[in-house]
Amino acid sequence: MRTAGDTDEGGVRRRKKAVAPAETRGWMKRLTLERLTRYYICLCDNSSRSQSDVVSSARIAECVGVDDTQVRKDLALIGVRGRPRVGFKRGEVIAAIRGVLGFEKQCKAVIVGAGRLGGAIAEYPGFADFGLSIVAFFDNDPEKFDTVIGGCKVYSTGEMKQVIRELGARLAILTCPADSAQVLADELVDAGIRAIWNFAPTTIVTPEDVIVGNEHVSVGLVALTYYLRRSE
C-alpha cells in the first residue's frame, strides 16, 4: 500500500521521508502562502472599494479577515515595510507578492477530465495572472476528442504521455471521477508531471518527489453550513 504524509495542515502533501519539510528548505509554509495569496487578491480586486495607492495593514486585514499584526508580519517576511500611520504602497506589495510566489514564471498545466469542472477551471479568469497556463485537456470519452474547451484541445487519455512531454507540462489538474483518479495519477507521474492538483473526491498518493494538493471543495462548505445551522 502506498502511503502519504508530511505536510502542513490541509492539503499540499508529499510522501514521508520524501523531501525535507518546506521550512527547513527555506520555503514558506502553506498557510503563509495562502494568506499572501489572499492579500494579493484583495489588493488587485477592482470592485467597489477605493483603490488608493497607499493601503493600511488594517485595511488588508479587514478585507482578508486576519489580524493586522499578522499582515505586517507576513509582509515583513517578504521584505515589504510600510510607513507608520501612512501604510503600504499598493503596487509595491503586489509586486513583492508576485515576485516571492513566482507568478512571472509560467507554469504549464494539463486538465484531466473534460467535464463541467474541468471546463470551469479552464475558463476561470484569474489563473493566468498567477502564471498558470492550461495547455491541453485529456478525457476518455471519444466524443470529446479533438473538441476545444477554453482554447485547449481535448486529447485521449491514451495520448497523455506523448502530449505532456511534447508540451512540457509539469502540473496536472485532476477532475476525473474518484474511481479513476489513482490510475490516472500514476500515468501522469509516468508522463513527467511533478505536481497534481486533485479535485477528484478521493485521496491520491504519488512518489515522494511529486507534490499533490488535494482540493476538497466540501471543506469550505462544511464550515459555512455549520455556522448556518448553529445560527438558526
Question: Which one of 5, 21, 79, 91 is in contact with its own copies (CB under 8 A)?
Answer: 5
Size of the site for its own copies (CB under 8 A): 91
b (16+ CB within 10 A) / e for 18-52: beeebeeeeebebebbebbebbbebbeeeeeeeee
23 binds its own copies (CB under 8 A): no
- The reply to whether 76 sits near its own copies by the rule CB under 8 A is no
Site string for its own copies, 101-140 (x = CB under 8 A): xx--x-x-------xxx-xxx-xxxxx--xxx--------
Question: Does 96 participate in binding its own copies (rule CB under 8 A)?
Answer: no
Strand ordering across the sheet containing 171-174: 12-13, 211-214, 195-198, 171-174, 107-112, 132-139, 152-156, 148-149
Restricting to residues 32-71, name those near its own copies by CB under 8 A: 33-38, 41-42, 45, 47-50, 61-63, 65-66, 70
Closest contact distance (angstroms) between CB of 4 and its own copies is 7
Site string for its own copies, 192-211 (x = CB under 8 A): --xx-x---xxx-----x-x
Measured CA angle at 146 (ends 187, 144), to 5 deg = 75
Nearest CA to 213 out of 10, 25, 5, 40 is that of 10
